Amino acid sequence: MAVELRLTTAKPASFYLRAARSFLEGVPAKDDKPEKPPVDTVTLMALGNAISVASYIGGTLEKEGLATIAAVRTKWTSVPGPVKHSPNVTVVLKRKAAEKALAGDLTVTTEATEPIDGQKPGTSGLRKKTKVFMGKNYLENFVQSTFNALKSTGVPIEGGTIVVSGDGRYYNKEAIQIITKMAVANGVKAVWIGKDGLMSTPAASAVIRCREGGFVPFGGFILSASHNPGGIDEDFGIKFNCENGGSAPEKVTDMIHTITKDIKEYKICKGFPTIDISTCGTYVVDGKVRVDVFDGTEDHVGLLQKVFDFEAIKKLIARKDFSIVYDSMNGVQGPYARKVFVEELGAAESSLMNAIPKEDFGGKDSPSHGHADPNLTYAVELVKAMGINKTGEKIGSGEGVPDFGAAADGDADRNMILGKQWFVSPSDSVAIIAANISCIPFFKEGLKGCARSMPTSGALDLVAKKKKIPCFVTPTGWKFFGNLMDSGDEKYFPDTECYTPFICGEESFGTGGNHVREKDGMWAVLAWLQILANKNKDESKPLVTVEAVTMDHWKTYGRNYYCRYDYEGVASEGANTMMANLKEKCNTLKGQEIKGMTVESAESFEYNDPVDKSVSSNQGIKIIFTDGSRIVFRLSGTGSAGATIRLYLEKYEKPSGNLGLSQFEVVKPLAELALELSDLTGLTGRTEPTVIT
């Protein structure tokens, strides 16, 4: 465990010394108070005149043999008032008893290798079949290419700190050991690893941004293929997140890909010992390299406690007329779900489904077939428990159905929100959160901006218009939201307009805010619980449900009937031909009438980033009709084999219109039109989508 102590001159140094000592020693049980075990890391943070206090505490505890001063970091911090900046010192103390000295050979070996085709990262890193990653030098080539790219851009790898963890899928633990040995060979002096190699994608972002005072690592490798199945015959993935906690931008991933095509060698410390990642602690190898293994939940959960009012949510969960169920789908989210819902919010252990992480996410024999993807098709157990079918329609009487349900994917960055016999589409979810944002403490002053991916429905746009804030439309991929979140930051974009506080979302079940630089499944669930808590303050009144919140939103803003058809594992040649044909047709579609609908505009989507002025072209085909209906075609970059065609369908209904229809039925005419226009069946041989959401 780790704690932070923010030192001031308002209290004597002796007070903070006692506090730091009690954390490092632990506190025995007394009377009705339980034992508090010792923590492994105490971070002292001090401004101005309190800096001497931090120095005194660190020196005293090190002399006592209770702690080791692992790091001292200095920087200038913005402060209110005429001074504007003040010196800031962070002193990191490691509990001496938790440190383990390990012998190891730090000799760097340079291994010859050759380029391997197909190492171009997609929207969320490099994903291939697990056995491909296990092949000779496949992982090593990509990791070394990443280090080479970072060094060429001046990233301080030498003597730096890196995070290495993943979602727990097959080959995760082995890959962590390989990357650690390569990191040390490339000059890294500290490696941070989640216990058992587990760390959700949003948690990795939180660790980079918050742990030991924040922004210590130069980045991190996240080992995940997200919602794709895990196992030796399934998928594996890797991506690099930068020092701001966000995915590497295209200019970096393009550089990595270029280097993979010409790589001739990689570096590794073969004699570096295998680290026991099953136990929390600090390993010091040959007195020079430090490896910290820690509870991957603590930084993320601690950050979420600053964003939300946990006490208000706890009161909601304690209501006798409110029940909750959460499905981690045997992905990395299990420990986080237990920490948040059971330990912090008081929910029953029985409210957790599939909360034990598994290397194959339950495997092919599980109800989800090992596909940890939180949607109506794969979250089979949760969908059944919530009294709906795979098209979101009510089944049964609803008796005994929980009032709130949610699910996470393999790496816990995605979410699905359900009410009692009620499905909330991801596009509606982000819009509803934005409309009710002020009840969340982190956003109590409101939003300065929001964004959605281009294929996501226009529901968020309607909220932004009413709130008079900008709503940006980006390509698919969370990294495109990163610049907007860092806008106005003096470190990254000092001369740009600031759009934070900020929230964003994608139709692919991703939602989040600017607390981290990744989509955050737990954040979305807590946002909904905060909204429900705010609307249910009076326990004497009937429960305001998820369905009621959604219906109220539609009656205010109207409803964007929306659906997505996925055609997975399509032959790349047919998929690429279809997209090329559609792009060519865009030049002549305007004004044409197709199946009684007139095309208003058709284009290949291009994004001009308002922050760094970069341009991203060929981001999908967008066709809009005169009645506001919309069709979007896009090839997904998250698959590991073949191509995935995504077809998005949207039809808007005003607040005074019919708001209670099935979205799947409403958009069927659009689907028929889209299939005829694209000749998808003729070019791919597919007559039915793999998944409909």
pLDDT of residue 566: 93
Do the Cβ atoms of 319 and 346 come closer than 8 Å?
Answer: no
CA atoms within 13 A on the CB side of 30: 4
**614 and 684 inside one domain:** yes
Q: Is 0.75 topped by the overall pTM?
A: yes
pLDDT of residue 676: 93
pLDDT of residue 486: 96
Domain presence at residue 631: yes
Q: pLDDT tens for residues 499-518? A: 999 999 999 999 999 999 99
**59 and 142 inside one domain:** no
Domain presence at residue 529: yes
**244 and 263 inside one domain:** yes
**144 and 222 inside one domain:** yes
The two three-digit tokens of residue 240, written as one number = 């690099």
Give 116-150 as a DSSP string.
Answer: -S----BTTBEEEEHHHHTSTTHHHHHHHHHHHHH
pLDDT confidence tier of residue 58, bands split at 50, 70 and 90: very high
pLDDT confidence tier of residue 636, bands split at 50, 70 and 90: confident
Q: pLDDT tens for residues 392-440? A: 999 999 999 999 999 999 999 999 999 999 999 999 999 999 999 999 9
**142 and 287 inside one domain:** yes
Domain presence at residue 104: no
Q: Is 365 exposed, middle or buried, given 0-12, 13-18 or 19+ CB atoms closer than 10 A?
A: exposed
Give strand ranges (E) for 575-641: 593-594, 597-604, 607-608, 615-616, 621-625, 630-635
pLDDT of residue 75: 81
Phi, psi for 240 (deg, rounded to 5): -110, 130
CATH code, domain with 82: 3.30.110.20
**281 and 344 inside one domain:** no
Q: Say yes or no to pLDDT of 34 above 90.
A: no
Q: pLDDT tens for residues 546-602? A: 999 999 999 999 999 999 999 999 999 999 999 999 999 999 999 999 988 999 999
Annotated catalytic residue 226 = yes
Look at residues 569, 202, 616 and name the one whose alpha carbon lies nearest to residue 371: 569
**201 and 258 inside one domain:** yes
Q: Which residue has the higher pLDDT, 523 or 638?
A: 523
**63 and 29 inside one domain:** yes
455: containing domain: 301-557
Mean of all residue pLDDT scores within the chain: 95
Look at residues 133, 217, 218, 208 and name the one whose alpha carbon lies nearest to residue 178: 133
Alpha helix (H) residue ranges in 370-478: 380-385, 426-435, 459-467
Q: pLDDT tens for residues 79-136? A: 566 656 678 899 999 999 999 999 999 999 999 999 999 999 987 899 999 999 999 9
pLDDT of residue 30: 84
pLDDT confidence tier of residue 642, bands split at 50, 70 and 90: confident
Phi, psi for 576 (deg, rounded to 5): -65, -35
Sign of CA dihedral 184, 188, 194, 200: negative
**At CA 215, angle to CA 211 and CA 221, rounded to 5?**
85
Domain boundary among 533, 557, 581: 557
Give the whole-number percent of the chain exceeding pLDDT 90.
91
Alpha helix (H) residue ranges in 289-356: 298-307, 310-318, 334-337
Cα separation values, 435 from 441, 548, 645, 652, Å = 14, 14, 32, 18
**466 and 536 inside one domain:** yes
Domain presence at residue 326: yes
Give the whole-number percent of the chain exceeding pLDDT 70.
98
Domain presence at residue 103: no
Domain presence at residue 523: yes
Q: Could you tell me how far CA 335 lies from the centroid of its own chain? A: 16
**524 and 602 inside one domain:** no
Q: Say yes or no to pLDDT of 481 above 70.
A: yes
Cα distance between residue 641 and residue 572, in whole Å: 9
**409 and 419 inside one domain:** yes
Which amino acid does the sequence have at 263?
A: I
Cα distance between residue 507 and residue 385, in whole Å: 23
The two three-digit tokens of residue 283, written as one number = 């390993």
Do the Cβ atoms of 652 and 561 come closer than 8 Å?
Answer: yes
Any bridge partners for residue 281, and if so which? 293
Domain presence at residue 84: yes
Is residue 233 left, alpha or beta, with left meaning phi > 0 and alpha meaning psi from -120 to 50?
alpha
CATH code, domain with 624: 3.30.310.50
Q: Total domain count for the chain? A: 4
Domain boundary among 296, 312, 333: 296
Do the Cβ atoms of 534 and 436 come closer than 8 Å?
Answer: yes
Q: pLDDT tens for residues 281-336? A: 999 999 999 999 999 999 999 999 999 999 999 999 999 999 999 999 999 999 99
Which amino acid does the sequence have at 130?
A: T
* Low-confidence winner among 30-34, 37-41, 622-626, 645-649 (lowest mean pLDDT): 30-34
Cα distance between residue 187 and residue 229, in whole Å: 34
Phi, psi for 573 (deg, rounded to 5): -60, -50
Do the Cβ atoms of 20 and 30 come closer than 8 Å?
Answer: no
List 200, 205, 224, 226, catalytic entry: 226
Which amino acid does the sequence have at 282?
A: T
The two three-digit tokens of residue 160, written as one number = 């730096």
**394 and 524 inside one domain:** yes
Do the Cβ atoms of 41 and 90 come closer than 8 Å?
Answer: no
Domain presence at residue 496: yes
pLDDT of residue 85: 67
CATH code, domain with 132: 3.40.120.10
Domain boundary among 505, 536, 557: 557
Is residue 541 left, alpha or beta, with left meaning phi > 0 and alpha meaning psi from -120 to 50?
beta
Q: State the residue for tokens 């996470």.
A: 408
